[in-house]
Amino acid sequence: MSDGTEAVLYEVREQVAWITINRPEARNALNEAARDGIRAAFVRFNADDDAAVAVLTGAGDKAFCAGGDLKEMADTSLRIPPRDFMVYLGRTLKVDKPVIAAVNGVAYAGGFLLAQQVDLVVAAEHARFAITESKVGRGSPWAAPLSWLMPPRVAMELLMTGDPISAQRAYELGLVNKVVPAADLVVETQKLAATIAANAPLSVRAAKALVYASAEMGWTAALDTGDRIYEKVYLSEDGQEGPAAFTEKRAPVWKGR
């Protein structure tokens, strides 16, 4: 940004890494600095032993992210975005630890993509979700997994109309885990993240891996894959620590191994 302000901020609060798109004056639109900043923040999160969970959010109270920077697209005559145009968790960057979106306003186009690619979503009551590409002649190939997250005909409607849905409607469809008053968004999201961070890390990461793996296979294959994913959890030190702590009536001390 021209004033030297970082486009994306990174801060760890009690084992939770808060990644904030910091362009409120542009409704947190994804220009090159924001795209690069988000990618760098998740790379940092991967390597950060002090952070067990990440939260992605936007600065201000109007927009989580309004999507791609259309002015930048026009200036650069962007045609087909390259595969690494922006980070796509699980596709262009593997992140084993859980990621939550705290949606503090509109999540349109690329902002919808960001909310789609995380693991859990907490939304403020005034948040709105839309895939607006059809209104500006652009594409949304990244939405291919959407019909896994919600009914296919609803996904079709979002893609073809470009019209927004409310946070409450997104919750009813299963796209959002929790809807809270805007004033409570940070506290409630931190509370959810802290609950996850307090659990056995290997079990949490295995749970994430299981859900995504099962999306790509049938019933029997998914069960067999689950056995493989959880084998190292059962064989870990933490796998013995949990029952021992319960028996000894104390809080478990997780080692992540």
Which domains are delineated in the chain? 8-198 (3.90.226.10), 201-248 (no CATH)
Which position has the token pair 């500006």? 136
Q: What is residue 84's predicted lDDT score, i.e. its pLDDT?
A: 73
Identify the CA nearest to 34 among candidates 61, 72, 60: 72
pTM of the model: 0.91
Q: What is residue 136's predicted lDDT score, i.e. its pLDDT?
A: 81
State pLDDT tens for residues 200-226.
999 999 999 999 999 988 889 999 999
Q: What is residue 192's predicted lDDT score, i.e. its pLDDT?
A: 98
Burial class (CB in 10 A: 0-12, 13-18, 19+), 79: exposed
Q: What is residue 76's predicted lDDT score, i.e. its pLDDT?
A: 56
H/E stretch holding 184 reads none
Does residue 65 contact residue 21 with C-beta atoms inside 8 Å?
A: yes
Residues 6+ apart with CB under 8 A from 172: none
What is the rounded radius of gyration, in angstroms, for the C-alpha atoms of the chain? 19
Residue 36 to residues 87, 88, 226, Cα–Cα distance (Å): 8, 12, 34
Measured CA to CA, the distance from residue 198 to residue 190 in angstroms comes to 12
- Listed as own residue / partner, the contacts of 221-227 with beta carbons closer than 8 Å and 24 or more positions apart are none
Does residue 59 contact residue 37 with C-beta atoms inside 8 Å?
A: no
Would you tell me how many other CB atoms lie within 10 Å of the CB of residue 164? 18
Does residue 36 contact residue 24 with C-beta atoms inside 8 Å?
A: no
Low-confidence ranges of the chain (pLDDT < 70): 1-4, 68-79, 81-83, 85
The tokens describing 21, both together, are: 């798109």
What one-character-per-residue DSSP string does 235-250 give?
A: TSHHHHHHHHHHHTTS
The tokens describing 82, both together, are: 């390259």
Q: What is residue 5's predicted lDDT score, i.e. its pLDDT?
A: 74
State pLDDT tens for residues 160-174.
999 999 999 999 999
Measured CA to CA, the distance from residue 212 to residue 133 in angstroms comes to 26
